[in-house]
Structure 1
Amino acid sequence: MDTSIRRNTIRWNTETISIVIDFSDSAPARISEIALATRRAGLDDRTVVERLQPLVEVMVLGDGHALSNTRFSHTGVGARLRYREHSVSTAGDGRNRLSIVQFDEQTNLAVTSLFEAFDGVAAVQTSTTVTNEGENPQIVQMVSSFATGAFLARGEKMADVSLLRGRSEWCGESRWAWIELHGPDGLPEINTTLHDHDARGTLTTVSKSTWSSGEYLPTGVLENRETGRALAWQIEHNGAWRWEVDGRRDAENAVSLVVSGPTDIDHQWNTSIGAGGHFTSVPVSFAVSDAGYEGAIAGLTAQRRAMRRRSVPDAHMPVIFNDYMNALMGDPTTEKLLPLIDAAAAVGAEYFCVDAGWYDDGGNWWPSVGEWKPSTVRFPDGGLERVLSYIRQKGMQPGLWLEPEVVGVKSPMAGALPPEAFIQRFGERVVEHDRYLLDFRHPATIAHLDRVVDHLVIDEGARYFKLDYNVTPGSGTDLDALSAGEGLLDHNRAHLAWLDGIIARHPNVIFENCASGAMRMDYAMMSRLDLQSTSDQQDYRLYATIAAAAPASLVPEQAANWSYPQPNESDEAIAFNMVNGLAGRLYLSGFLDGMNEHQLALVSHGVDVHKDIRADVAASEPFWPLGLPGWYDDTVVLGLRSAENTYLAVWSRDDGQQSIELTLPSLAAAGESIEVSTLYPVTLGDWHPTWNAGSSLLTVTPASAGPSARLFRLAARA
């Protein structure tokens, strides 16, 4: 890694990525180029384009925009910042760091941009720290984590650029769609040259409150369809965020990207930075590629693997059985659980999680959460301890569902904890769907939840927690905060600190992330937790789209896709369910205890396949031969590519038997040596996979009409 400064230019080069930043006495620092290291030789002063988008945007009350609008690519502070110094360092964990300090004389704010890159990973994590070097406090309303205009090169056009953005909602997660920047939902060309004025509009994406992926995914991609150049980013925050794509007048068709955490205009977020005080923005990672959106997502996949915690018990991706989905649905009892435990063990599950309701004596598990003491009514003979012991006797590790961030309105803890331990507005507790929400800034909250987790691990023997989160507090809490958004951000960060604490104390426990499915699927959470529930969707046919799209947001080994085969289903429906799980992290449920031997064998075979390929899945890159799936697509395909094998999950959801053709250019070099095999299921109808080496084309034909799915493996013959 090297850094040089020449002609007011900083060139930061790692093993895999190069960033060029220019600055002057009359302009702020700006990213001029982001490129893969393979293009480094071409980045000289003749090819680097001068950009107008500042490296940092900061909105300060009493200062506002340099150009009046509601976007953040024209803030007053951002335009006035001037370079002060920069430094380079290398950390012991393999991270290379670049720090750039700028200063605004009008507000006396010093702004530090931190870039961090892992060795061998073509991605960068960045954040911004604002320090008040003056005597008067400054009210800050927005701080960018990442801002760049370095996407289009000379001669390239905005008309060739598309934005890939993902919608998300309960049971409808990961719905990706393309937006052409010059299309009807994009940015109009208003002839800024004639007006001698930048445009004021923006293509903005915002997520509110604490469901960081409850409306939109915190990941986006810009792709130039003509050149294949792509820039992908992800916001690594468990709360509110915003990113925007703007048109700038660097050239005829310039594009800017500004990414931030919460803002005043979107989230009621403001913070006061006093003399000598500072504020640091939420982290953002970005990756670049010359191989289109799939290449950029591959860069983010490598970044996610580099930054995530690796726990010992989850290292081999054990098979989890959870009693909830399309099974007990929050009504566990000893009588219902014991036969399910037998069946789960018989098909090869390695963990068994008792989901919601294990603490409830009143028959309604939803408003009674919060105390987390095992029910005596549901487990009358030997208590919950008997059930957990039985799980261990069957060779599995026991797990429990927790929703630690809430207290039900009927829970004893609603009156036992101090009022300040709850999120509140104007002195009144926030109530959402019969729940209060705990404020993790308060020590009583932390002490209570530490006692709960420690007891369940040490005394009850839990080795797995499904951490759920089913309600949100709106804009936040104004208790001991300048604004509700500030209180919420501090709560978000305190929640992460609590997670760090329980994980450190219990390294032999697996922690699952869930929020009504995938409503909080971000890498603030997933850099810490082991796996992510990708949805609450109960229709296995609809789940195919979610399972296929999830690896755009997660490493495949963290994408826990429900597989809930039922005894009243056809063999093809059972296989479809299992392929959903095999497309990432197999996560079992369903009334397996009601199945016959043939059905159990079909499920057991799927579990065996997962165990055979899970090491490959944990090292794979996702790709989509038919593009990222649409919600209503009849055919859905996900590819996972490892060093030696390519896996294809193929779902057919229509009533026909039309052949499916998949072009796989990455296998062209292997040619005739490619061998195609059906991994799952092997006992049902043959889809007759046929490989055409000349055109790198795989053709498969569903064996029967109606929904069905198969998992294929393609590999070079030994």
Structure 2
Amino acid sequence: MILSAAGAALVLDDSGPGLPRVRHFGAGLGPVAGAALLPALTSPAPALLPAQGDGWYGRPGLSGVRDGEHWPVRWTVSRFDAVAEPGSGGAVTVVAADDRAGLELVSELVMDGGGLVRMRHAVTNTASSPYRVAGLTCALPVPGRAGELLDFTGRWALEKAPQRRAFGQGVWSRENRRGRTGHDATGLLVAGTAGFGFRGGEVWAVHAGWSGGHVHYAERMAEGVALLGAGELLEPGEVVLGQGESYRTPWVFFTWSGGGLDDAGARLHAHLRARPLPVRPVTLNNWEATYFDHGLDRLVELAERAAAAGIERFVLDDGWFRHRRHDRAGLGDWYVDEDVWPHGLHPLVSRVRELGMQFGLWFEPEMVNPDSDLARAHPDWILGHAERLPPPQRNQQVLDLARPEAYAYLLERLDALVGEYALDYIKWDHNRDIAEPVHDGAPGVHAQTLAAYRLLDELRARHPRLEIESCSSGGARIDYGILARTDRVWTSDSNDALDRQAIQRWTGLLVPPERMGAHVGAARDHVTGRSLPLAFRAATALFGHMGVEWDLTSVSQEELAELATWIALHKRLRPVLHAGRVVRADHPDPSALLHGVVLPERAVFAYVQLTSRLAVAPDPLRLPGLDPASVYEVRVAGPVPEGAMLPEWAGPAAAGPLRLTGAVLGELGLPAPSLRPASALLVELTRA
């Protein structure tokens, strides 16, 4: 059985006993019948769910224990349904059982038209005694030439830091027990050929689309077989199946590329882009402008300044609800504070809409402050053991969403507020790790995550036009489970543009620009304390879902006009930035970055000088991803950075736009400007 699309192929061999074996996942194999491949498929191959009964002595795909007699699982397939559309992917469903072990398995595998593979398994207990699931993961093989691993780590305000290592024998496992995706979550675990980069090398990658505990792992056996795998990370006793009950894994996503990380990322982006979004409005969030100071006059002035700069959406952040004058009280009391807002939020909402902007509101539904009316009335709604509270973080605890009464309260409050104010947008925050989660005497992250998904799904069903942002103290909940239910992620709590260049670069492997929040912060960043010019802050935010998080009431008219220029530029380029293919050059100068977004007719690139350059002359700008045969007109887009020394083609004396083929621009490139540190030059290309 061969699934193929977009130059990728997956080969399943169902000729033997037991589950089908995955013989190949990688480059396309051309128009060849599956039977004709058998002589070439001599190397060891893992089953769709690896187990010792199939000759696999690595990490098992399923682990668990039955209360009573233990039987290792050997699957007998009862159904193999496959729909293959050569060149367009297809789907496979395998149903198997082991009557002696008392288990049934349903495995689903789908390849979409972009060559992206997603997989999930479901196991059902068919016996009378309980079955305790310890783990159920999805895995696909990678070949021996995949000799390097790339994964990511991070912390608050500095997410997605890359780290590379050799892919040797044994297991490299990234495990997360934070109850949310985590600042240090890898997001993608990548295996590749030696020296792979953005534009070259062969790579394979895996991502678990799950917002709770999770695991990503790479394993190479002495027998010569290697795997990439991922799934939910379960705590002991978290999933116990009674007779007839099932556990299903989240979707796990696998991508392959013969042309480096950019192509692998493009296949992932296509999956998210299959769910279309409306035009992404330039957004102002008031948090770093006013914090908990919610005076109506000040917020109206901020909204008026925002509208004057061309901003299209105003989001009121933390501090609008009862008892919330600081971060030590009020979470859970989701009623507009009558002392601060005697007429409700209506005066502000009305003025924002008069100014032509949408209105959004911040919530943190899954959390509660012990100092709140909700916690005092319902202490039993806190996720934890009844006799002892979990350790506090950020002065807050977690609400047990799997408790029906807590869930119903949150749904009623969210539904009522979205309805009363006709909210266009919710910033949905989640500001702490989940520690010691106990639900009905068992570990509670699995049930909590599913309940959060249900809450989001139900709210969206009641308000189909509502847009929702996933924020988790910045980028601590970015995964395809939450992105199936939300419209963008808050990439990081740091708006420092230098740090953001790297954060957005690596987060962008998984998330396309239009779903990645990127804001222009204040001149002096409130996290790092670093001061950066407006032009650099704006050029960085331009390549995401652009927004502003800055007290515009304190800026000069000149700064407001400069910001308005950048916002207008973003709007003009938005059709390219939010629909094109993201490309990143493997630029030889470590002090600079070169990245862009490419459509067939148009492209936008940024040449970013991060730090001082060691070489006297900058390296040429070799622009990747263009059609080699097409001729492009090349011009500078937007303001020229202060102190830039421009080459002739970009300078004021240029006779007109430069015209070059994509082949020349990709191979020879453009003479580069000489830029000061923390500055960027934008280049726009139009096919002639």
Q: Shorter-chain-normalised TM-score: which range?
A: 0.7 to 0.9
What do the CA deviations read for 1:161-188 (whole angstroms, capped 9, x no partner)?
211211132101121232221xxxxx25
**What's the counterpart of residue 417 of structure 2?**
456
Change (3 A) 1:621 1:596: same
State the Cα distance separating 1:530 from its structure 2 match: 0.9
The one-letter amino acid of 1:99's match is T
- 1:286-685 alignment runs, 5 A limit: 286-306=254-274, 308=275, 310=276, 315-325=278-288, 327-361=289-323, 363-379=325-341, 382-417=343-378, 419=380, 421-425=381-385, 427-433=387-393, 434-479=395-440, 483-484=442-443, 487-566=444-523, 573-626=533-586, 634-655=591-612, 659-667=618-626, 669-670=628-629, 673-682=631-640, 684=642
CA RMSD of aligned residues (A): 3.2
**What's the counterpart of residue 186 of structure 2?**
217
- For the Cα contact (< 8 Å) 2:61–2:136, is it kept in 1? no
State the Cα distance separating 1:287 from its structure 2 match: 1.7
What do the CA deviations read for 1:657-685 (whole angstroms, capped 9, x no partner)?
852433335337147x3332222225855
What do the CA deviations read for 1:118-145 (whole angstroms, capped 9, x no partner)?
3x2211221001122333322221111x
Change (3 A) 1:693 1:531: closer
- Which range moves more in the overlay, 46-55 or 399-408? 46-55
- For the Cα contact (< 8 Å) 1:402–1:468, is it kept in 2? yes
- For the Cα contact (< 8 Å) 1:164–1:220, is it kept in 2? yes
What do the CA deviations read for 1:215-265 (whole angstroms, capped 9, x no partner)?
1222222112389332122111111111211112443xx3122222113xx
* Inter-partner Cα distance in structure 2 for 1:345 and 1:688: 34
* Inter-partner Cα distance in structure 2 for 1:411 and 1:634: 49
The one-letter amino acid of 1:248's match is M
* Inter-partner Cα distance in structure 1 for 2:638 and 2:328: 38
* Inter-partner Cα distance in structure 2 for 1:563 and 1:702: 24
State the Cα distance separating 1:430 from its structure 2 match: 3.1
**What's the counterpart of residue 33 of structure 1?**
24
State the Cα distance separating 1:330 from its structure 2 match: 3.4
Change (3 A) 1:590 1:665: closer
Change (3 A) 1:278 1:57: farther
**What's the counterpart of residue 195 of structure 1?**
none
- Which range moves more in the overlay, 568-577 or 453-462? 568-577
Change (3 A) 1:683 1:164: closer
- Which range moves more in the overlay, 682-691 or 100-109? 682-691
* Inter-partner Cα distance in structure 2 for 1:42 and 1:647: 42
Mapped pair 1:162 → 2:148 = yes
* Inter-partner Cα distance in structure 1 for 2:680 and 2:272: 29
**What's the counterpart of residue 683 of structure 2?**
712
State the Cα distance separating 1:592 from its structure 2 match: 1.7
What do the CA deviations read for 1:574-608 (whole angstroms, capped 9, x no partner)?
01111121111102121222222321121111111
Aligned partner of 1:97 among 82, 91, 95 = 91
Mapped pair 1:696 → 2:657 = no
Mapped pair 1:243 → 2:234 = no
* Inter-partner Cα distance in structure 1 for 2:117 and 2:260: 18
* Inter-partner Cα distance in structure 1 for 2:587 and 2:46: 32
**What's the counterpart of residue 67 of structure 2?**
none
What do the CA deviations read for 1:589-643 (whole angstroms, capped 9, x no partner)?
21222222321121111111111122222222222213799xxx63233322223
- Match of 1:386, SS? helix
- Match of 2:503, SS? helix
Change (3 A) 1:218 1:558: same
State the Cα distance separating 1:443 from its structure 2 match: 1.9
- Match of 1:578, SS? helix
- 1:111-126 alignment runs, 5 A limit: 111-118=105-112, 120-126=113-119
State the Cα distance separating 1:463 from its structure 2 match: 2.0
* Inter-partner Cα distance in structure 2 for 1:567 and 1:436: 32
* Inter-partner Cα distance in structure 1 for 2:345 and 2:513: 33
Percent of residue pairs bearing the same amino acid type:
23
- For the Cα contact (< 8 Å) 2:205–2:228, is it kept in 1? no
Change (3 A) 1:666 1:363: closer
Change (3 A) 1:436 1:573: same
* Inter-partner Cα distance in structure 2 for 1:637 and 1:12: 35
- Match of 2:621, SS? strand
- For the Cα contact (< 8 Å) 1:16–1:37, is it kept in 2? yes
Change (3 A) 1:262 1:362: closer
State the Cα distance separating 1:17 from its structure 2 match: 4.6
Mapped pair 1:137 → 2:95 = no
Change (3 A) 1:30 1:427: farther
* Inter-partner Cα distance in structure 2 for 1:399 and 1:666: 37
State the Cα distance separating 1:406 from its structure 2 match: 0.7
Change (3 A) 1:157 1:654: closer
- Match of 1:663, SS? coil
What do the CA deviations read for 1:555-578 (whole angstroms, capped 9, x no partner)?
211011121144999997101111
State the Cα distance separating 1:379 from its structure 2 match: 4.1
The one-letter amino acid of 1:461's match is A
What do the CA deviations read for 1:64-86 (whole angstroms, capped 9, x no partner)?
x975x8x4469698873343321
* Inter-partner Cα distance in structure 2 for 1:269 and 1:620: 46
Structure 2's unaligned 5+ residue stretches are 65-70, 650-659
* Inter-partner Cα distance in structure 2 for 1:361 and 1:438: 18
* Inter-partner Cα distance in structure 2 for 1:260 and 1:512: 24
* Inter-partner Cα distance in structure 1 for 2:287 and 2:44: 53
- For the Cα contact (< 8 Å) 1:86–1:101, is it kept in 2? yes
* Inter-partner Cα distance in structure 2 for 1:137 and 1:452: 38
State the Cα distance separating 1:89 from its structure 2 match: 5.3
Change (3 A) 1:356 1:397: same
- For the Cα contact (< 8 Å) 1:549–1:628, is it kept in 2? no
The one-letter amino acid of 1:19's match is L
Change (3 A) 1:102 1:16: farther
- For the Cα contact (< 8 Å) 1:426–1:478, is it kept in 2? no
Count of paired positions: 654
* Inter-partner Cα distance in structure 2 for 1:707 and 1:573: 8
The one-letter amino acid of 1:260's match is G
- For the Cα contact (< 8 Å) 2:63–2:133, is it kept in 1? no
Structure 1's unaligned 5+ residue stretches are 1-9, 182-186, 189-200
Change (3 A) 1:122 1:670: same
- For the Cα contact (< 8 Å) 1:623–1:639, is it kept in 2? yes
Change (3 A) 1:376 1:495: same
State the Cα distance separating 1:27 from its structure 2 match: 5.4
- Match of 2:20, SS? strand
Aligned partner of 2:165 among 179, 185, 188 = 179
